[in-house]
Amino acid sequence: MDYQKIINEVSEEIKTIPQEGSVADYIPELAKINPNQFALHVQSLENKCYSFGDINQKFSIQSISKVFALTKAYMIHSGKLWTRVGVEPSGNPFNSLVQLEYENGIPRNPFINAGALVIIDILCDTLENPKQELLDFIRKLAGNEDIHFNKKVAESEKRTGFKNAAQINLMKSFGNIKNDINEVLDVYYYLCSIEMSVVDLSKSFMIFVNHGILMSDNTRIMNSSKTKRVNALMQTCGFYDEAGEFSFKVGLPGKSGVGGGIVAVHPEKYAVAVWSPPLNKKGNSYLGMKALEMLTTKTELSIF
């Protein structure tokens, strides 16, 4: 398979698609981003890389960080997690409050905001310094120490994150948040503010390609069964109320963030990260989804 040739074709075709959507302006600091940036990077299990665009430009990973938080919590807690958070797609926006009330404060899955807040609450109970330990974990997966929080983005969201505050308060009222609300929100916002490039992201998701084993030193991060389950959750819940559309058009497990990044994995083959800041109405990168659809269509490879 000549991946680079296919990616070159994708890069030419993507330029002809008129940009739609807009950058995430509900987080004031993210509204400042230049919308005309684009990057795509494929990291293969054979340790080959294929790419185009601004591949070393770091951007806010936002909800992609929820995969790292879940992985860290799942490594420690196994099945105990699933009494506090479900494994079903929500069919609702990532910050919706409606289900949370009639489902008694148990979020549908770990990738909607409420679910990630529960996972962070669990990590706050387990880790001595959750922020630093999560950052160190991500650096290890990416094989790059030069990955950092963006304090301005985190504090900007902390000032304006009224819906997250509503969700965590609602869950606390149902007894599904154990720690201090502000402590959990602080870890959540800092985790979302982490900045990575498409190179960092595709490398850090290689454990989901490689049955839970870190490629750089062959150490096991998570067992195969848990890795399979995280991939299953990415497939069914990674794109909120657009998870079906992403499965239909791209056919890979993946996760998006409102910084405009998307990472997808083809188990035993490759991880691909794409970045284009303008988002569609569901909060997923408009051109990012198009590029991934082109990639799996042209390669004629998906998990289905």
Footprint on this chain of ligand DON (rule: CB under 6 A): 62-63, 94-95, 113, 157, 164, 192, 256-258, 283-284
**Nearest distance from residue 163's CB to ligand DON, in Å?**
7
**Nearest distance from residue 234's CB to ligand DON, in Å?**
13
Cβ distance to ligand DON smaller for residue 66 or 266: 66
Element (H, E) at 295: helix 286-299
**Nearest distance from residue 62's CB to ligand DON, in Å?**
3
Q: Under 8 Å CB-to-CB from 156, ≥6 apart: which residues?
A: 27, 28, 29, 30
Please say whether the beta carbons of 15 and 291 come within 8 A.
Answer: no
CA atoms of 36 and 284, how far apart (whole Å): 16
Element (H, E) at 59: strand 59-60
For residue 276, report the phi and psi dihedrals to the nearest 5 degrees: -150, 115
**Nearest distance from residue 257's CB to ligand DON, in Å?**
4
**Nearest distance from residue 60's CB to ligand DON, in Å?**
8
Cβ distance to ligand DON smaller for residue 254 or 283: 283
Cβ distance to ligand DON smaller for residue 11 or 57: 57
From the number of C-beta atoms within 10 Å of its C-beta (0-12, 13-18, 19+), residue 45 rates as middle
Cβ distance to ligand DON smaller for residue 63 or 210: 63
CA atoms of 118 and 18, how far apart (whole Å): 39
Cβ distance to ligand DON smaller for residue 213 or 234: 234
Return the closest-CA partner of residue 192 out of 67, 22, 97.
67
**Nearest distance from residue 26's CB to ligand DON, in Å?**
7
Cβ distance to ligand DON smaller for residue 7 or 69: 69
